[in-house]
Structure 1
Amino acid sequence: MLTIRQLSAVITITIIGLAVAYFLHIPLVIGFSLGLLTLVALIWRAGTTFRGILKSMWEGVKHTKEVIWILALVGVVIPTWTMSGTIPFMIDLGLSVVDPSFFLTFSFVLSVCISMVLGTSTGTLSSVGIPLIGLGLLLQIPLPMVAGALVSGAFVGDRTSPFSSANRLVASSTGVSMQALFKALLPTTIGALGVALGFFLVCDFNGEWHRSDISLHNQQFASGFSYSLWLLLPVLVLLISILLRFKTRNGFLLSIACAIVIGMSLQQMTWNEWLHDMWFGYQSSIFESLQTKGLSNMIELIALIALAGAYSGILERYRILETYMQKLLGETSASLLSATVRTSLYGLGLGLVSCTQTLPIMMTGRSLLPFWEERFPRSQLARVVADSSLILAAMIPWNMLAIVCGTIVGVPVLAYVGYAPFLWALPVCTLLWSLWWRKSGSLSSRRGVGFDG
């Protein structure tokens, strides 16, 4: 469909457009549009009808529907939780029970536990991340560090939990069972968890908050809100909805409705105030640390995600990248380490261009599986996909998943990614494991034990 030169031009223009827009603080929609228009023009010149292109774009947009819902509802749930008193109450409650000396470690471990149960990074960050970010702000802990701890923990479950849709997508794309996938992921999971836990312990020991006085921070917001245990209900409703496997957007809607009902009863807010703050965000001259963004601030991001969906729809419909798969991996890779490096780079490239997490997982797994099976077990491909295509999406500033995570915690991706060791330790761990596996596999082979692939 496209020559290698044309494909290279599309990828280069897309990445440069997004990068320039990001660093110059121009709307990302503008930067991404350059790549999308280039792709459409080249596909059209190759003989595809314009109607066919529009159809593929629309199919791609429909695949982003759930992400768009989540992003829009995040823009509403944060101000409603704040207005109702839920976030102020949870922050004050946290100040009375959490030891600030090990706040980052606590945030990471709690995020890990919740994400393993929920199986979703967005649900984890929404339920525990929002109040912990507010708590970290009051304790004067750098927010990129707090965000890094929360995102790191959230992606433990997003990648590893059997309840995670991304985890199941890796299994189905590579043709392995959930049990085989868990076993394959265990070594690198343990390695990355060890790195992350050590990282946050060191940060806590060396941080100024290790010597802070928590008594100075108690009851920050009680003078401005009426408190009750009922204020925990919106968060519990969201958690229970996700546990019951409701659609994430339905969980958000139920939580928003619950927050409004409780807030109107306790805080005596008018409908005009609710609608104004849900659209523009919560603003307060008394509690500046509680100010939030609203739905209006999500419009640009929603447009970007829709364009990314259209872009992915074209790539998937016309299988533009699959033609060059075999050239990337080679007829037979010389070693598992070599195959791991090439597969990881391919997953990164897809994440940079497609702006999704789903497409890199599916295309890397399904397209490279025949080549991997010639030499290595499927389980090893599943591990590499989970440790590269799945996780790298969270570190690309214009990727849908990273945008949603950054929006929830209120910290730009590039600001927190250096403090999210689970994300960048996994690719390193998987490279080291591939190197060790090759050596141990060669030793086993010499002892008369063949590969299980």
Structure 2
Amino acid sequence: AHFHLWVFLLCSLLSLLLGTSFGTASTLGVVFMLLARTAGLDPLLTAGAVMSGIYVGDRSSPMSSSAALVCALTGTSIYDNVRLMWRTSLLPFFLVCLAYVLLPSARAESLPHVDGLFADGLVLDARALLPAVFMLVPLLLRWDVKKIMACSILAGCVVSLAVQQMSPAALLRCLVFGYEPPAGMEMLSGGGLLSMAQVAGIVLLTSAYAGLLEATGLLDGLSSLCKRLSLRLGAFRTTVLAGLPVAAVSCNQTLGIMLTKQLCAPLWQNGKEMVLPLENGIVLLAAIIPWSIAGSVPCAIMGVGPECLPYAFYLYMVPLTDMLLRRR
């Protein structure tokens, strides 16, 4: 029972572990979409639950690139920021869980059995959890994130070679071009460095705009407008609301975070104060823009359109509750 609640919770857990919305959508999200379509469940509601879950980790995982960017721009610590983000997201997280419980879901017997779905092509035992262990334990010890990623990648390569019996050539091909699964397991295909080349190119190109806009002073007028608006709404609400049109124009999280920081930096005394409005604003709001890669790429991976975004409750529950509960 409560299929969509479990979709949200499991996608949240995996995204916290991986720190990537795209990676979670292309793995666990694809599996849940297959289950939903096989059981005759609403694919839009399922995709919305996936979208909610994948951005839990994208916003508040130490492994997240957007969280790392916010740290770099504000001069703060990733682990301190994660603690702040969880403090403000406990209530909306509970409300999102409640929403998925109350919405119509599926009975357990109506879902297909997938126990042995991957048994023929993969070795599934405790040894396959080694990369996760090499990620979780150093996280608890608050290691440097880059070292944690290196350890987990190395552990994944060892598991691929020793447990899954991949050849070194096949492993190298998988790392570069993505995984090519056996017949019947096509849902696991994808990944690899080249799969992110186009998205990385878009982010690199648009990020250059942030430096151009700052150097030419084209944002000075908008920054003054934000100052006047903050006198009525407060700095926090102004920063979060400014993130919405910025996300619509920038079409990606990276440029959106940079531009919002440039626009609203005069409203704050230091970078640490800007962490929550950036994380609770632009990081999530970018995903509700249909033409932004933060929303369009996961939807394309799952084979749905932007019609699923209204069901991604977490994306707007966090900024709404935070704005409503603040005095200024």
Query: TM-score, normalised to structure 1's length?
Result: 0.54
2-structure distance, mates of 1:231, 1:407:
28
What letter corresponds to residue 306 of structure 1 in structure 2? Answer: L
Structure 1, residues 275-315: CA drift from partner, whole Å, max 9, x if none?
Answer: 33331542432323322243332221121111022112222
Match of 2:324, SS? helix
Change (3 A) 1:395 1:242: farther
Alignment of 1:56-135 (within 5 A): 101-109=1-9, 121-122=19-20, 132-133=28-29, 135=31
- Alignment match, 1:327: 225
Match of 2:184, SS? coil
Alignment of 1:18-417 (within 5 A): 101-109=1-9, 121-122=19-20, 132-133=28-29, 135-137=31-33, 139-140=35-36, 142=43, 144-154=47-57, 157=60, 165=68, 182=84, 189-203=89-103, 206-212=104-110, 216-246=113-143, 248=145, 250-278=147-175, 279-330=177-228, 333=231, 335-336=232-233, 342-354=238-250, 355=252, 356=254, 357-369=256-268, 384-396=277-289, 406=298, 414=306, 417=309
1-structure distance, mates of 2:160, 2:58:
32
What letter corresponds to residue 140 of structure 1 in structure 2? Answer: A
2-structure distance, mates of 1:145, 1:103:
13
Change (3 A) 1:407 1:246: farther
Structure 1, residues 250-291: CA drift from partner, whole Å, max 9, x if none?
Answer: 544433332232222233323333333331542432323322
1-structure distance, mates of 2:207, 2:194:
21
The answer on whether the counterparts of 1:347 and 1:389 sit within 8 Å (CA) in structure 2 is yes
Change (3 A) 1:241 1:395: farther
1-structure distance, mates of 2:14, 2:174:
29
Shift of 1:231: 1.1
Consecutive unaligned residues in structure 2, runs of 5 or more = 38-42
Task: Give the superposed CA RMSD.
Answer: 4.4
Shift of 1:329: 3.7
Select 2:315's aligned residue among 409, 420, 423: 423
1-structure distance, mates of 2:200, 2:114:
37
1-structure distance, mates of 2:29, 2:53:
9
What letter corresponds to residue 237 of structure 1 in structure 2? Answer: F
2-structure distance, mates of 1:310, 1:324:
19
Structure 1, residues 55-106: CA drift from partner, whole Å, max 9, x if none?
Answer: xxxxxxxxxxxxxxxxxxxxxxxxxxxxxxxxxxxxxxxxxxxxxx234323
2-structure distance, mates of 1:331, 1:262:
54
2-structure distance, mates of 1:331, 1:421:
27
Change (3 A) 1:353 1:249: farther
Match of 1:221, SS? coil
What letter corresponds to residue 197 of structure 1 in structure 2? Answer: C
Structure 1, residues 125-163: CA drift from partner, whole Å, max 9, x if none?
Answer: 85x77664355245336451442242243256359x9xx
Match of 2:117, SS? coil
1-structure distance, mates of 2:172, 2:275:
46
The answer on whether the counterparts of 2:25 and 2:298 sit within 8 Å (CA) in structure 1 is no
1-structure distance, mates of 2:318, 2:302:
24
1-structure distance, mates of 2:245, 2:191:
32
Change (3 A) 1:256 1:363: same
The answer on whether the counterparts of 1:115 and 1:157 sit within 8 Å (CA) in structure 2 is no
- Alignment match, 1:59: none
2-structure distance, mates of 1:200, 1:396:
22
2-structure distance, mates of 1:304, 1:392:
19
2-structure distance, mates of 1:282, 1:242:
30
1-structure distance, mates of 2:311, 2:291:
18
- Residues 190-199 or 135-144, more deviating: 135-144
Q: Provide the aligned length of Structure 1 versus Structure 2.
A: 309
2-structure distance, mates of 1:270, 1:326:
59
2-structure distance, mates of 1:113, 1:270:
30
Consecutive unaligned residues in structure 1, runs of 5 or more = 1-100, 371-377, 439-453
Shift of 1:418: 2.7
Change (3 A) 1:221 1:280: closer
The answer on whether the counterparts of 2:4 and 2:100 sit within 8 Å (CA) in structure 1 is yes
Match of 1:139, SS? helix
Change (3 A) 1:170 1:196: farther
Query: TM-score, normalised to structure 2's length?
Result: 0.71
The answer on whether the counterparts of 2:246 and 2:259 sit within 8 Å (CA) in structure 1 is yes
